[in-house]
Chains A and B, each alone.
Chain A
């Protein structure tokens, strides 16, 4: 009875995940095949597409730009969010409720709507922002905010913030030292996990990148979009490279969120 049940559960789970893996697997095989047209199986296997992709300077530049934008927005988010959450939790705990609503705003407004809004807002601005990476960094910062705030505020509630800071004060530490030596190290876990999570999310973001910047600053997503007319094998290789990268990021995120117990 128990065994039968287990078998049933297992077959459902594996069957379903198998089904979901088919497109990825197909893309993978497609990216490795020399040509795969009228036959059941590919004609042959080759690394040609990957070599072509990884030696394409346009790809490498786009990848570099994407990394630059994501990492800058995450650094900006971290530098602003960490002290802010500390202030909220230590001095104005009542504000936590307000923050929880505020940080949902980037998700409450559909990206298409907010990107058009941003476009209108900054189109006439004396400083040229639209079409530059800077507007994207600002926008991505707001997208990263909910991930970061959630994860870090969870870390904050799991430590006894007030008593820890009080204890540090009584032992002669200033608030800054208490924050740097005691609070920050205890947020490491939540911080790393949320950073990797937002990173993989931002790397794949298309709507804002396309509308606000587009081809004027070609990022990975835009590059993929522009390449859609070329060989399917080539774009498959591109997608697989992207997948692999995201997979590594996600794996690191889960590792860190489990790490240090």
Chain B
């Protein structure tokens, strides 16, 4: 049996269903991301795992134990909040030692253990600081240490990086991943940022409107979207109507087909393309966005607007709006998707 098993979990607030029929399993030491747009129920699901919300139906098993109705104090689940939720009246050391104190561990031992955790999150020297004296990134590391010090069976992270600026976010997510690997922690991470999810996760559970629409490895979710929602949420998939697609690619699809912006090529003279890269189409550049390493073109082909990503190899290749060009499609990457 898997380390964590959730079956048929459902939660309602009055008449509103937040999520229902949630099923998944998590192996020990796995890094799982609950990914989805805001309001999809991912945070409520996470809080239900922690026991901070009661569920209306279904079961949660952790390590062969049914904890569906266990009080949060007894679940041995740690959580890091987006708001940090550090205790403002306590120093860093007291914050981290709080969980040990509640367990009744003696003061000296608790302090030593807390100190070890503070070192692990690289905050040594800040033990006597108050949370208000720390930066956002430092506060979140204190929160992480506080959650980890009691050796939780599962670590839950509720958008822990969302309140931080880009640079801190990047370094902190590396640090989270490193600690997670080091301690072999079973981790559930909630985010609405698909890039973050791709970078961190062993598996992603993609949620929409209270249901898990697809679960799998990041690369599978990215390359094989189960439906239109996944295709539009992961990357900037082009969705082409069945009729147009059948005509262009000689398919017999009843559903829309999806193709990623990087699987469409702008034909360059004198370059050899493989057999699977074909079907030349004339197009007109509508606009382009410079994303840095990538140039994102919006190109119109027979009234169908397509997004095409090109590596920004040299600035001479930047094509102005109105220029015409020829597009090639990687046929292996064209796939029908459910609505």
Using a CB–CB distance below 8 Å, which chain A residues touch chain B? 159-160, 163-164, 166-174, 177, 181-182, 185-186, 261
With CB as the reference atom, state the residue of chain B lying closest to A182: B87
Contact A171 B85 (CB under 8 A): no
The answer to whether B192 has its CB under 8 Å from any CB of chain A is: no
Are B103 and A170 interface neighbours, CB within 8 A? no
Contact B72 A170 (CB under 8 A): yes
Verify A159–B88 contact, CB threshold 8 A: yes
Across the interface, A171 reaches (CB within 8 A) one of B88, B102, B132, namely: B102
Given the contacts A177-B102, A182-B89, A169 and B72 also touching, CB distance less than 8 Å: yes
Does the CB pair A166–B73 fall under 8 Å? no
With A163-B81, A174-B73, A261-B132 in contact, do A168 and B89 touch (Cβ < 8 Å)? no
Give the nearest-CB partner of B82 in chain A: A163
20 A-B residue contacts at CB 8 Å? A163-B81, A164-B85, A166-B47, A167-B79, A168-B87, A170-B50, A170-B72, A170-B78, A170-B79, A170-B147, A171-B98, A171-B150, A172-B102, A172-B150, A173-B73, A173-B98, A173-B102, A182-B90, A186-B88, A261-B132
Q: Which residues of A contact B98 (CB under 8 A)?
A: 168, 171, 173
Residues of B contacting A170 with CB < 8 Å?
A: 50-52, 72-73, 75, 77-79, 147
Query: What is the minimal beta-carbon distance from A174 to any residue of chain B, in angstroms?
Result: 7
Interface magnitude class on chain B: 20 to 34
Most B CB contacts (10 A, CB to CB) among A166, A169, A170 go to: A170
Say whether A164 contacts B103, CB under 8 Å. Answer: no
In whole angstroms, how far apart are the Cα atoms of A186 and B143 in the complex? 18
CA distance A185 to B88 in the complex (A): 9
CA A181 – CA B51 in complex, angstroms?
A: 21
Establish whether residues B52 and A169, one from each chain, have CB atoms under 8 Å apart when the complex forms: yes
1/0 per residue, CB under 8 A from A, across B56-89: the answer is: 0000000000000001110101110101010111
| B85 lies within 8 A of A167 (CB) | yes
List 15 extra interface pairs beyond A166-B79, A167-B146, CB under 8 A.
A160-B85, A163-B85, A164-B85, A166-B81, A167-B81, A169-B72, A170-B77, A170-B78, A170-B79, A171-B99, A171-B146, A172-B102, A174-B73, A186-B89, A261-B132
